[in-house]
């Protein structure tokens, strides 16, 4: 078997308007794979027949009505030993996946299409020992998908409704048609990730939970008024603090990882090596980030915080609110290696939510900082109105990273927008916006939330290989317990071996790694080779070879998403090409 594509990705056309849609924003799956650094090739539906013979794993998104030649080619390829992951639908070949499409039990207007939509609900592991589902300790919230019933396939996960009551649908099904292997994930993964990360448009106050811990209905519109996660099912008790619950699991990231585990599982089964550019340089597990909102601009408290972070060896991001500190202190922050960022104010008296007001404050801060460009913004009080207006304002001003998604109340703390990674948003029409969102996870520990929350967030960010983002205001530096809480977080981060980065550095790295291209892939007879081209310098870039058997090369052994691999760390200069090889030993087909 000679392969030239480790993973081929085909996105089926969406249904016509006024027909049931089982998914939203299917192309966002490409964003998921790009962020994961996966080596893959996009294949259009009309080119699928020609692409299959040299593809290792096929990934499809959505439902389809395949023509006869495509259906026959896919059937022969899978039964002949191919590996297929179908997401949010069966791609028009349910028999190959061991499922059938659900049908409505009665005639209804607008109810018939290529599939019945799942609506909102939860994915619950039926086989928690399976490595695709092993980390899913709790049911996973989803939004829409394709209602499927298992026939000859093995159900790995079932479907619960929005109140976590069992439904007669299959959530994840594994099948072995002929010599091949398939996996179908019924929920709409791409649309679910977008909905959790971005929430819904904000035109009025949200409603908090019944325990009173998150009174978001406070007369101020802010990002957490648009959250879509469930107060009862998606929060967890904070260990060591009776009665305190928080969003302790990044649910959108779990959906991302489910896709990666599905791909790696099938690749392992078929004996395919999958190259990936790891999230962080030098094979780091995760990154820590500290930001400060300078509300009030009190010089003594700003000085106390600067002395503390310098003592701890942390370079942090200072989100400065108008009118800011005096110029000498601003210069001292810069000289110490800290980032100067914007803190857009649409809360204080005379301040408004408008692009004109945003631009006025942006221009003032640029002059104060003495710079042409500001990289990062975070809104005062995490203010937010509308849908993606703020992202559009940032993009127009050249601000490349925002931090305004996050918790304004204790009971919303944690990953209330589902991710500890930096992600690109979509506008309502599905077009990408060139601004990274790095959501805030908590504010000042021992004021906003118990110190134990910091431990839980560090642990989650490390497990999901993302960014710990904690916010400490200079205003609270008069409190010894807040200073001690920051020291405690710093010690915990140091113990886990995570480096501290500013938001600007996270932004530079994420954008640079997106410019790396996989220009060639070849695999045959237990050997694989890939060619890389760096569009921008990537010192310490780590290439993962996710191998189907024990590696025979000198790479560092790693476990990622429950699968073995090798890590090769190299320095890549702008425009350079590198060839990296891997070899391994294994039987023709690995065990599950």
d(CA 330, CA 332): 5
Structure tokens at 427: 């506008």
Kindly state the DSSP code that residue 27 receives in the 8-state scheme.
Answer: T
Core vs surface per residue 515-552: b (16+ CB within 10 A) or e: ebebeebbbeebebbbebbbebebeebbbbbbbbbebe
| pLDDT digits 0-9 by tens, 160-208 | 999 999 999 999 999 999 999 999 999 999 999 999 999 999 999 999 9
How many CB atoms within 10 Å of residue 478?
12
Q: What is the pTM of this model?
A: 0.97
Contact criterion met (CB below 8 Å) for 427 and 433: yes
What is the gyration radius of the CA atoms in the chain, in angstroms?
A: 24
Residues in the chain, pLDDT under 70: 1, 105-114, 586-592
pLDDT of residue 108: 60
Class of residue 554 by CB neighbours under 10 A (exposed 0-12, middle 13-18, buried 19+): exposed
pLDDT of residue 549: 87
pLDDT of residue 15: 83
Of 279, 243, 242, the residue nearest 260 (C-alpha): 279
Of 296, 488, 318, 498, the residue nearest 403 (C-alpha): 318
CA dihedral (319, 325, 329, 330) positive or negative? positive
pLDDT of residue 107: 62
| pLDDT digits 0-9 by tens, 533-560 | 999 999 999 999 999 988 877 789 999 9
pLDDT of residue 525: 87
């Amino acid at each position: 078997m000679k392969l030239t594509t480790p993973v081929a990705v085909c996105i089926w056309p969406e249904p016509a308007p006024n027909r049931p849609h089982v998914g939203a924003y299917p192309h966002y799956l490409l964003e998921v794979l790009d962020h994961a650094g996966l080596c893959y090739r996009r294949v259009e539906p009309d080119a699928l027949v020609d692409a299959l013979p040299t593809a290792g794993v096929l990934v499809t998104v959505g439902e389809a009505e395949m023509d006869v030649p495509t259906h026959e080619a896919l059937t022969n390829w899978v039964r002949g030993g191919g590996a297929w992951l179908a997401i949010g639908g069966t791609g028009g070949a349910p028999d190959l996946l061991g499922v059938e499409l659900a049908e409505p039990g009665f005639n209804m207007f607008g109810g018939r299409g290529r599939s019945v939509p799942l609506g909102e609900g939860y994915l619950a592991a039926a086989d928690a020992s399976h490595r695709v589902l092993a980390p899913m300790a709790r049911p996973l919230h989803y939004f829409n998908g394709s209602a499927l019933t298992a026939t000859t396939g093995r159900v790995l996960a079932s479907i619960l409704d929005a109140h976590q009551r069992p439904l007669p649908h299959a959530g994840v099904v594994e099948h072995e048609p002929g010599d091949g292997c398939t996996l179908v994930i019924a929920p709409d993964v791409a649309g679910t990730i977008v909905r959790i990360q971005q929430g819904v448009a904000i035109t009025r106050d949200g409603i908090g939970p019944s325990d009173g811990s998150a009174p978001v209905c406070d007369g101020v519109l802010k990002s957490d008024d648009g959250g879509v996660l469930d107060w009862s099912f998606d929060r967890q008790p904070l260990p060591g603090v009776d009665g305190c619950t928080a969003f302790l699991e990044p649910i959108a990231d779990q959906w991302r990882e489910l896709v990666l585990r599905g791909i790696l599982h099938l690749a392992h089964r078929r004996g395919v090596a999958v190259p990936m550019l790891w999230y962080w340089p030098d094979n780091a597990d995760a990154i820590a980030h500290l930001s400060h909102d300078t509300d009030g601009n009190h010089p003594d408290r700003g000085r106390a915080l600067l002395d503390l972070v310098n003592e701890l060896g942390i370079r942090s991001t200072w989100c400065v609110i108008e009118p800011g500190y005096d110029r000498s202190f601003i210069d001292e922050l810069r000289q110490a290696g800290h980032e100067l960022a914007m803190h857009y104010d649409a809360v204080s008296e005379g301040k408004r939510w408008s692009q004109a007001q945003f631009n006025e404050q942006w221009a003032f801060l640029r002059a104060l900082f003495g710079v042409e460009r500001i990289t990062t913004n975070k809104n005062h009080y995490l203010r937010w109105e509308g849908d993606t207006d703020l992202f559009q304002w940032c993009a127009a001003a050249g601000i490349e990273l925002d931090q305004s998604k996050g918790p304004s109340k204790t009971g919303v703390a944690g990953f209330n927008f589902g991710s500890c990674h930096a992600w690109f948003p979509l506008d309502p029409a599905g077009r990408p916006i060139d601004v990274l969102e790095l959501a805030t996870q908590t504010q000042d520990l021992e004021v906003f939330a118990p110190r134990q929350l910091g431990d839980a967030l560090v642990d989650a960010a490390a497990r999901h290989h993302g960014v710990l983002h904690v916010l400490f205001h200079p205003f609270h530096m008069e409190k010894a317990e807040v200073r001690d809480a920051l020291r405690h977080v710093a010690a915990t981060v140091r113990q886990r071996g995570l480096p501290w980065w500013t938001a600007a550095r996270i932004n530079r790295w994420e954008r640079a790694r997106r410019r790396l291209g996989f220009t060639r892939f070849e695999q045959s007879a237990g050997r694989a080779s890939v060619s890389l081209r760096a569009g921008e310098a990537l010192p310490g870039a780590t290439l993962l070879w996710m191998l189907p058997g024990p590696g025979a090369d000198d790479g560092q052994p790693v476990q990622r998403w429950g699968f073995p691999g090798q890590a090769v760390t190299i320095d890549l200069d702008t425009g350079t090409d590198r060839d990296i090889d891997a070899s391994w030993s294994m039987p023709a087909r690995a065990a599950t």
